Structure 1
Amino acid sequence: MSRAAKGGQADPLRDSIDAELAGPLSVLDLDIEAIEITPAGKRRVLRVAVDKDGGVTLDDVAAATREVSRILDESDVMGEQPYTLEVTSRGVDRPLTLPRHWRRNAGRLVKVSLSGGGELSGRIGESDDEGVALEVDGKAQRLAYAEVGKAKVQIEFNRAQADLGKKEGDA
């Protein structure tokens, strides 16, 4: 996993936690998207964000929580200082930084700040390891990941409501 996916800078504790958790969570078809450790009084809060193709369910989070807790209990990676564990899904507010993020958000509206300046919004189409096709103003536009400065999925309440209505009408 890249440093950016884990919160920016290299951190030996985060790297150790990532090394302990990556294999067992991959057995559950989960990717670690972020590991954050923040002080909270005499304790620490360890947040582990996970994701997978098709999205993360509450059952996935529960299974991941049990597995992470078991692994950390069996290892000394967190040391003696007490901590609180939180396992969450990636969330839509996180930027799209890896090809899998684009693939998992196909069909969603995204706002892209271009690395060379400028901005565009479009719907995510096909993506691969090199870039993504965006539908911008009804036209397909290929964008290499190197051209992306920052990209975030946009929340579409009206579209979700329209999709819900279609599913109910089809039943």
Structure 2
Amino acid sequence: MRQELVKDLLDKALEEKEGLFLIDFEVKGDNQILVVIDGDQGVSVNDCIDVSRAIEHNLDREEEDFSLEVTSAGVTAPLLLPRQYKKNIGRKLAVKTKNEAIEANLKDANEKEITLHWKAREPKTVGKGKVTVKKEAVIAYSDILEAKVMITF
């Protein structure tokens, strides 16, 4: 299986489906094609079907047998691209860096970093008890080991 041909077909399919973008693509040795996509507005089953058909209908099974799997990035999958962070602004994330783990609301995301906001209870500077303080962290993508959207019910 020519990986370049499949990648070209995939790129063309994604160009036609504005708002969708590639998360992962792999052609395994046994001609198993795996594609993971995401979308600025999410991914529907029909989006996966359309991308699958755009690839499958342009490959000849008589020439080479293959299997094709097109899936969306799962809700529990880690965020990998700045574009994924941008679509999740306003949602709560669990972010792990080398030094800490933070559960906070994603306030902003650009091409270099994210900005998180959260509230914490800290001891008062004077007297007993605790006070609620607003916290903010700006974290470069290069410092993020893993980030996931926290699902709340």
Q: TM-score surpassing 0.5?
A: yes
Q: CA, structure 1 residues 61+139, in 2 after alignment: closer, same or farther (shift >3 Å)?
A: same
For residues 15 and 94 of structure 1, what CA distance do their matches in structure 2 show?
A: 26
Give the Cα separation in 1 of the matches to 2:82 and 2:115: 12
* Counterpart position of 1:139: 135
Residues in 2 aligned to 1:101 and 1:146: alpha-carbon distance in whole angstroms: 15
Relative contact order, higher structure (CA 8 A, sep 6+)? 2
Secondary structure, counterpart of 1:72 in structure 2: coil
Are the counterparts in 1 of residues 24 and 36 from structure 2 also a CA contact under 8 Å? Answer: yes
Structure 2, unpaired ranges of 5+:
120-133
Does structure 1 residue 126 correspond to structure 2 residue 108? yes
Q: Which has the higher strand share?
A: 2
Aligned to 1:114: 97
Matched residues, percent identical?
28
Partner of 1:48: 35
CA offset digits 1:123-168 (Å, max 9, x no partner): 2122111111112225333222122122122222x2xxxxxxxxxx
Pairing 1:6-155 to 2, within 5 Å after superposition:
14=3, 17-29=6-18, 30-38=20-28, 44-73=31-60, 80=64, 82-115=65-98, 117-137=99-119, 138-155=134-151
TM-score by length of 1: 0.67
> How large is the RMSD of aligned CA atoms in angstroms?
2.7
Larger Rg: 2
TM-score by length of 2: 0.74
Aligned-partner SS, 1:151: strand
Q: Distance in 2 between matches of 1:60 and 1:52?
A: 9
Q: Does the CA-based 8 Å contact 2:6-2:55 persist in structure 1?
A: no
Unaligned residue ranges in structure 1 (runs of 5+):
1-11, 159-171
Contact 1:25 1:67 in 2 (8 A): no
3-state DSSP of counterpart to 2:32: strand
